[in-house]
Structure 1
Amino acid sequence: MSDIGSKPSIAYWHLWVDADGVSHQTQCHLTNFDMKQIGPADPQWNNEQRSHSSTVVFTVQPVGWIGEWHENPAPQWIVVLSGRWFIESMDGTRIEQGPGEFSFGEDQNCVEKKGKKGHRSGTIGDEPAVLMTVQLHVSPSRDPCRIK
């Protein structure tokens, strides 16, 4: 059996909306890991999320692509497969992500303020940003870092 190490903590960004309808980004951590054996394989750390109906969408954003102010179509996990992109929330926070990094977009029901609603996003650099999204068919929440 391999060395199991200590319980993991994996960082992700959460794009969420406050009570005033303004989007923010908070760095959160997945921490609810349990050691579990799956079949005959050695035990591993698992953070099992509640089962939801979902839709998986792969996107390729061309070099120079900009998604002006918009809301995510549904609460969704967004995983960068290749390339780089940015996400800017209404409060002015801008994060950049590359391969292997991920975020949870939950900026539905924003209120337009000063021409901003939801977030802006776009590619960075000289290659397309390839993303995988898992859109959850659930109602959005206004609690930052609610997913542990």
Structure 2
Amino acid sequence: MTMLTQSLLYTDADGRARWRDEALPLAEAAPGVRLSALSASGGVQWRSSPVGFKSDFHCTTTPQWLVVIQGRMEIGLQDGSTRIFGPGEYFYSNDTLPAGATFDPALHGHRSRQVGDEPLVTLFVRS
């Protein structure tokens, strides 16, 4: 069985955003290709971010897949780690605010920024 590796951004038990990589089985077969199981979605949204775009720390409000179409995007976590995603790369953003918590920008969420000299174009697919 063929697998893809997908990056998942999630909220850990301590309330902090963390990364986890998981295997995505491509078990559905068609001539010449392997497919994942079909996933439901709650709509799509496109975003264009200019050169220099950056956000403060925030939580994902609705779990969603984020696919970089153009440019490069850096995601930074509270622990100082970063990951950069380029065209064709994607991750699942599910670092939502823990139930009953009040957002604390020194504890919760992630920040994002456009990297390089090309505007950032992303596709959000809500789950």
**TM-score, with normalisation over the residues of structure 1?**
0.75
Q: Aligned AA for 2:37?
A: E
Q: Give the paired residue count.
A: 124
Match of 1:91 in 2: 79
Q: Secondary structure at the match of 2:75?
A: strand
Alpha-carbon distance in 1 for matches of 2:6, 2:88: 11
CA-to-aligned-CA distance 1:102-133 (integer Å, 9 cap, x gap)? 00000001555562421000100011111111
Checking the alignment, whether the CA contact within 8 Å between 1:24 and 1:93 is kept in structure 2 is: no
Identity %: 29
Checking the alignment, whether the CA contact within 8 Å between 2:17 and 2:95 is kept in structure 1 is: yes
The list of structure 1 runs, each at least 4 consecutive aligned residues, that deviate by more than 3 angstroms after superposition, is: 110-114
Unaligned runs of 5+ in 1: 1-6, 137-148
Alpha-carbon distance in 2 for matches of 1:91, 1:15: 13
Q: Aligned AA for 1:120?
A: R
**TM-score, with normalisation over the residues of structure 2?**
0.86
Alpha-carbon distance in 2 for matches of 1:21, 1:69: 13
Among 28, 47, 69, which residue is 2:36 paired with? Answer: 47
Alpha-carbon distance in 2 for matches of 1:126, 1:50: 34
**2:46 paired with 1:58:** yes
Unaligned runs of 5+ in 2: none
